[in-house]
Structure 1
Amino acid sequence: MLMFTAAVAGHAGAFSLDDVQAQARDLAAQPYAAPVSNLPDVFSRMQFADYQKIQPRRDQFEWNNLETPFKLAFYHQGMQFNTPVKINELVEGDAVQEIRYDPVRFDFGDLHFDRAATSSLGWAGFRVLYPINQAGKNDEIMSVLGASYFRVIGKDQIYGLSSRGLAMDTGLPIAEEFPRFREYWIRRPQPQDRSLTIYALLDSPRATGAYELTLTPGADTLLDVKARVFLRGQPAKLGIAPLTSMFLFGPSQPSAVPNYRPAIHDSNGLAIHAGNGEWIWRPLNNPSMVALSSYQTTNPKGFGLLQRGHEFSRFEDLKDRYDLRPSAWIEPQNDWGSGRVELVEIPTADETNDNIVAYWVPDQLPAPGQAMPFDYRMHWTMAEPDLLDGQTAWVRQTFRTLGERYQANLIRQNDGSLAMLVDFEGPGLAQVADSALSAQVSANGNVEIIGTELQRNPAIKGWRLTLRVRVKDATQVGELRAALAANGQVLSETWSYQLPPKPVPVATQTRDQYVNRFKKVGE
């Protein structure tokens, strides 16, 4: 069971998470003070294209003069990044030394403004650089900008989905609260260091938090997170280790208009390793209205938003290179107790909007003044099969199409049904005898399963399961589940698919129909 422990006071000696935790505890006991913007109009009204012109100068990177592979660069204030964050360096003896804002660190391109207007501004965030792809070449591997958002990549990856420190009231018909990191302490790396430690203080109207982030670059970059969260008030929902991504369309939900790209998404599924050992794969949707799915479990072994399948042919996009965008996997390192993994899917018309959020919701919250400890390791990876246990087969891809039946004259005719094709691949499937393998298939009461077919897929040395189904009420959620088994033993993860409801005109909605827009499924 998750234990809530009181924070300990700061101590003499080396700077540690305890020092930030003491600040977070004291801050939670005080009334919230909202940050005030210090931006002049020329920066607050700036458009994205102009903000992008403000770039860090390579000759002004922090630690350029040190024998370390890590470098720091900074983000300038502008647009919605209208309040400065304080960034400190932990130098020799763990003395705290503020890295003060200096506009000389930036190249402002062809922007025209009164240079004196920048003299009292500050940092909006920072970037971590490391020679991850080529010796001697500094590549950006971590970006920390806006509220408590951050992104991380490994070798041969480009930025895709994001994470953040905390989510509050996400996916509810009320305003979401966005906690922000207000101050950072970054430990100056030594020449032999291959990890970088960052501490952060989080603040929000109803919560504060202390965070220790240990960044270890590699083929899979790891980020070890230790979070200590305090409540000022009671949120309707608290989301731990939140991930934010984008899903526009793909084979499981083809584009409604012609597009040369077969898929556009930063992630195509939610993966869960439940506390009872079950592996679950939930393909993502771009729904017509907000959808909330919930998966109850105790002490989850892991969850994440994954980008399964990195072949270029899946995307055919030379500009945005969705094939190079990583997955993010959350692996708890301490006891998280009982709770649920939630998935929020929000309608979007284009790929510029993040419309997918996943996080952990604890069943119980402590009284104000008690720390909630959540430790977890984040894997930023493109080797998604390696996240599994080496014995469980996985869903390679999900296809959705119109169902068909044959007339007596062998002419195909759409009968109003849907067909779902699910490809499974992985350990042991190629060796299973046809007669031994079976599909365990189920659906909720809103879905009629018309027929199933299981056949070998020699192209992937796996199997393809075809389900022909009919939704009874298009305004209600449809749920499907399937897994492969042999001799009574489950061999694959559970494919858990949601058929989102179509919207009912607001004028004709009943109260139950409105509530069902936020219905939790998969419990």
Structure 2
Amino acid sequence: MTDFPLLVSRKRLRASRVLLSALALTVGLLAAAPASAFDFFDVTRRAKALANEKYKAPSSALPKELRELKYADYQQIRIKPDRQLWADGRTTFQVAFLHQGMAFDLPIKINEIDAEGVREIKYDPDDFDFGTRKPDLKQLKNLGFAGFRVFHSFGDRANKRDGELASFLGASYFRVAGKGQVFGVSARGLAIDTAVASGEEFPRFREFWIARPANNDKHLVIYALLDSPRATGAYRFTINPDEDTTVQVRSRVYLRAPVGKLGIAAMSSMYLYGSAQPSSAANFRPELHNSDGLGIRAGNGEWLWRPLNNPRRLASSSFAVENPRGFGLQQRSRDFRLYEDLDERYDLRPSLWVEPEGDWGKGRVELLELPTSDETNDNIAAFWVPESPPKPGAALDLNYTLRWTRNETALADAKLARVLQTRRSTGETRGADQIRRPDGSIALMVDFSAPVPAKPKDPPLPVSLNFSTSGNADVLENSLRRNPVTGGWRVSLRLKVKDPAKPVEMRAALVNGQNPVSETWSYQLPGYETGE
């Protein structure tokens, strides 16, 4: 008799626990429903619908006073700290909205996703500090935002603004940084007809949705809707801050009309001068660039390194790649003494590496180098171009991870020798009197690290040089010798160009027998460097 009531109470207890669990689950689902009700496919539906509509060009209402600002004056315009998104400090992220000014003269719509649903963040000029300028706020009513910046504590919750994590400003450009990094190379959502004679089209992010992170979330999710005369697109960016900050990109692109060149995972950077192209004027800074080369990991296993140039006219290089495994603009030179710039800290600027997800098929990585006379202009562009772009109305789904890093060694194959530096100078020969004199040639010194033997205790691999040119130069010297300082190998080249109007293409790699044991050094000597 006594066991029966106990049995009943246990059953009731279990039933109560099941009921409570079910209620808790239901409440949790109901609480999460509004936030999870908006996802990537909501943006894709908007992008598809937009692609079926006629393109409507955005209009600018920016007053002349703000349009003609100098960059230093534009930087003074800042949102007030208490008006930032998530200024309550409950997350390790904060969002600071950017005001329109200068060429940033088109409004974008920004929304927040939280547990209550989706709400638009309205622009209010009273939220901004305009510095020394006092514009008429009535003229700015309903102007709209130009973009936004994201700050992150990088693990230190007591310091909410110790790092600028990301910036979305202008067209489809955005920049990201890891802990201890300084903004440099920019990513782009999409590039269309870059450096095509008919003119480039600049797709722009017209609307964003920023998901409020949970208190303990270590990542931030941002959705974006892209629009341009011939393309629309949906994007989801999952930003993971760390020493290497990664951005997982999910994208779906629709074309309104055919395009000549579709640039996927596009990026832009700046190269003014460096060891491969010394400055023509005296400067206390030995090198000045955000990136010094393009790296490619091809689907067939080849690794390639292409040092950058600052040409006097547009230069284009194309690398056929099927199913790329990685590519990006890198800043391999990390020694501060190569820059000596305490303000810009080019030694802290990250490399940007694209890691494609799945097979992208046939295509090419394209590198564009444009002339620039100062460091304020991005003159380098790189992107992947699919061999067969989608037909208008069809969806192109390509996903990839962007890695912003200062650890370029981790991106490489540890067994292969890497290019450590490329140095260029006037070619010289040593006379009988042991004095070196110019001989009208161009000299190149390329340092490779040492290839790693198969086993740690094996002797260093014997190597030889595999070198080739495009045929527009006579090779006066082509030698390989050990570099006792680095423990690697030095390639010494001297060339005389045949046709100064044409570039010279070169490739070099270390081989052990027939087997490559280094990445491939690929270089273009622009025509102007040969006397044009």
Same fold (TM over 0.5): yes
Q: Which moved more, 1:41-50 or 1:82-91?
A: 41-50
Q: Secondary structure at the match of 1:479?
A: strand
The residue correspondences of 1:239-254 to structure 2 (distance < 5 A) are 239-254=263-278
Match of 1:118 in 2: 140
The residue correspondences of 1:146-157 to structure 2 (distance < 5 A) are 146-157=170-181
Q: Which amino acid aligns with 2:486?
A: I
Match of 2:43 in 1: 20
For the Cα contact (< 8 Å) 2:178–2:243, is it kept in 1? Answer: yes
For the Cα contact (< 8 Å) 1:89–1:99, is it kept in 2? Answer: yes
Give the counterpart of 1:362 among 383, 386, 392: 386
Q: Secondary structure at the match of 1:182?
A: strand
Give the counterpart of 2:130 among 85, 108, 130: 108
Does 2:217 match 1:193? yes
Q: 1:114: Cα distance to partner?
A: 1.4
Paired positions, count? 495
Q: Which amino acid aligns with 1:468?
A: R
Match of 1:459 in 2: 485
- Cα 1:12–1:69, aligned 2, differ >3 Å: closer, same or farther? closer
2-structure distance, mates of 1:110, 1:454: 61
2-structure distance, mates of 1:296, 1:432: 36
Structure showing greater relative contact order (alpha-carbon pairs closer than 8 Å, 6 or more residues apart): 1
2-structure distance, mates of 1:332, 1:480: 27
The residue correspondences of 1:429-468 to structure 2 (distance < 5 A) are 436-468=462-494
Does 2:357 match 1:333? yes
Provide Cα deviations, 1:195-225, integer angstroms capped at 9, x if missing partner: 1000000000000000000000000000111
Q: Which amino acid aligns with 1:112?
A: K
- Cα 1:475–1:73, aligned 2, differ >3 Å: closer, same or farther? same
Provide Cα deviations, 1:313-343, integer angstroms capped at 9, x if missing partner: 1111112111110000001013211100000
Q: Which amino acid aligns with 2:478?
A: T
- Pairwise CA RMSD: 2.1
Q: 1:402: Cα distance to partner?
A: 1.4
For the Cα contact (< 8 Å) 1:289–1:503, is it kept in 2? Answer: no
1-structure distance, mates of 2:73, 2:460: 60
For the Cα contact (< 8 Å) 1:154–1:221, is it kept in 2? Answer: yes
Does 2:319 match 1:295? yes
Give the counterpart of 1:89 among 112, 133, 146: 112
Q: Which amino acid aligns with 1:186?
A: I
Does 2:262 match 1:238? yes
Q: 1:47: Cα distance to partner?
A: 2.6
- Cα 1:265–1:14, aligned 2, differ >3 Å: closer, same or farther? same
Q: Secondary structure at the match of 2:528?
A: coil
For the Cα contact (< 8 Å) 2:247–2:403, is it kept in 1? Answer: yes
Q: 1:502: Cα distance to partner?
A: 2.1
Any gaps of 5 or more consecutive residues in structure 2? 1-33
Provide Cα deviations, 1:155-202, integer angstroms capped at 9, x if missing partner: 111111111101111122231110000000111100121010000000
- Cα 1:361–1:375, aligned 2, differ >3 Å: closer, same or farther? same
Percentage identity across paired residues of the two chains: 50
2-structure distance, mates of 1:388, 1:297: 17
Q: Which amino acid aligns with 1:244?
A: S
- Cα 1:12–1:54, aligned 2, differ >3 Å: closer, same or farther? closer
- Cα 1:386–1:60, aligned 2, differ >3 Å: closer, same or farther? same
Q: Secondary structure at the match of 2:410?
A: helix
Provide Cα deviations, 1:450-469, integer angstroms capped at 9, x if missing partner: 22222222332322111122
Match of 2:84 in 1: 61
Q: So what's the TM-score if we normalise by structure 1?
A: 0.91
Q: Secondary structure at the match of 1:123?
A: coil
Q: So what's the TM-score if we normalise by structure 2?
A: 0.89
Q: Which amino acid aligns with 2:154?
A: I
Q: Which amino acid aligns with 1:49?
A: A
1-structure distance, mates of 2:458, 2:275: 27
Q: Which amino acid aligns with 2:476?
A: I
For the Cα contact (< 8 Å) 1:447–1:479, is it kept in 2? Answer: no
Q: 1:49: Cα distance to partner?
A: 2.2
Does 2:171 match 1:144? no
For the Cα contact (< 8 Å) 2:35–2:115, is it kept in 1? Answer: no
Any gaps of 5 or more consecutive residues in structure 1? 1-10, 507-523
Q: Secondary structure at the match of 1:502?
A: helix
Q: Secondary structure at the match of 2:337?
A: helix
2-structure distance, mates of 1:427, 1:142: 37
1-structure distance, mates of 2:364, 2:184: 25
Match of 2:514 in 1: 488
2-structure distance, mates of 1:51, 1:454: 52
1-structure distance, mates of 2:490, 2:457: 15
Q: 1:432: Cα distance to partner?
A: 8.1
For the Cα contact (< 8 Å) 2:91–2:213, is it kept in 1? Answer: yes
Q: 1:103: Cα distance to partner?
A: 2.4
2-structure distance, mates of 1:368, 1:37: 29
For the Cα contact (< 8 Å) 1:475–1:503, is it kept in 2? Answer: no
Provide Cα deviations, 1:474-502, integer angstroms capped at 9, x if missing partner: 11110111111224321110000100112
Does 2:66 match 1:46? no
The residue correspondences of 1:172-187 to structure 2 (distance < 5 A) are 172-187=196-211
1-structure distance, mates of 2:286, 2:89: 46
Match of 1:75 in 2: 98
Q: Which moved more, 1:312-321 or 1:44-53?
A: 44-53
Q: Secondary structure at the match of 2:66?
A: helix
1-structure distance, mates of 2:417, 2:83: 49
Match of 1:476 in 2: 502
Q: Which amino acid aligns with 2:134?
A: H
Q: 1:44: Cα distance to partner?
A: 2.4
Match of 2:18 in 1: none
- Cα 1:337–1:186, aligned 2, differ >3 Å: closer, same or farther? same
The residue correspondences of 1:319-398 to structure 2 (distance < 5 A) are 319-398=343-422
More helix per residue: 1 or 2? 2
Q: Secondary structure at the match of 1:296?
A: strand
2-structure distance, mates of 1:385, 1:102: 46
Q: 1:368: Cα distance to partner?
A: 1.4
Q: 1:401: Cα distance to partner?
A: 1.1
2-structure distance, mates of 1:474, 1:296: 26
Q: 1:119: Cα distance to partner?
A: 2.3
Match of 2:331 in 1: 307
For the Cα contact (< 8 Å) 2:35–2:114, is it kept in 1? Answer: no
1-structure distance, mates of 2:345, 2:421: 19
Match of 1:513 in 2: none
1-structure distance, mates of 2:467, 2:458: 19
- Cα 1:418–1:12, aligned 2, differ >3 Å: closer, same or farther? closer
